[in-house]
Amino acid sequence: MKKLEPTDLYTLEAYARERAAFRARVLAHKQPRVIHLGSHLTFVFEDRLTIQYQVQEILRVERIFEPAGIADELEAYNPLIPDGGNLKATMLIEYPDAEERARKLVELHGIESRVVLQIDETAPVAAIADEDLPRSTDTKTSAVHFLRFELTHEQIAAWQRGADVALSVDHPAYGARQSLTAAARSALAADFA
């Protein structure tokens, strides 16, 4: 998938005009790309459009319009765009109550390295977490992680043939498995183009 360049982005003025329509388009696009794993883990599988939206929102909120600032944001976010042989996801650990969340982040230490994608009977694909920088400490995990799932040609071919796909986590304090819907499998299959 092609990385974003400055010419792919709206100017701040143009984005102000187009934001409502663009946001609606992105939210509809994201819907099948969001996978809930149990009650407290949400995975947002990113692609070029979802990352463009994140960058546009940062530029808007931070009022960044100078080329160097835009280049910095693209450098930070472009690595989250799949490159044709993988899937990339933002993993969110969600507990609404702040005190409970603080306790759970200690209990769930290391959960980001216990996430697996299973495509039919092929070998499980373990998530590679937080390549850009460590997000966990020695005692607790972070509420947000960036994951990469590197697939083989065989796994991609199986996916494109309509294989069953499931996402799971196996951590002593949290276990869950979720089969992907046909809509999710179809949406994510576009990331292999």
Stretch 39-44: mean pLDDT, rounded? 97
Give 105-155 pLDDT, tens digit per residue: 999 999 999 999 999 999 999 999 987 766 777 889 999 999 999 999 999
Query: What's the distance, CA 10 to chain centroid?
Result: 22
- CA pair distance 75, 170, nearest whole angstrom: 33
Residue 139: per-residue pLDDT: 86
Higher-confidence position of 1 and 163: 163
Stretch 57-71: mean pLDDT, rounded? 95
Residue 167: per-residue pLDDT: 98
The maximal CA–CA distance of the chain, rounded, in angstroms, is 50
Q: Which residues on neighbouring strands pair with residue 90, listed in sequence order?
A: 44, 146
Q: What percent of the chain has pLDDT over 70?
A: 99
Q: Which amino acid is at 101?
A: R
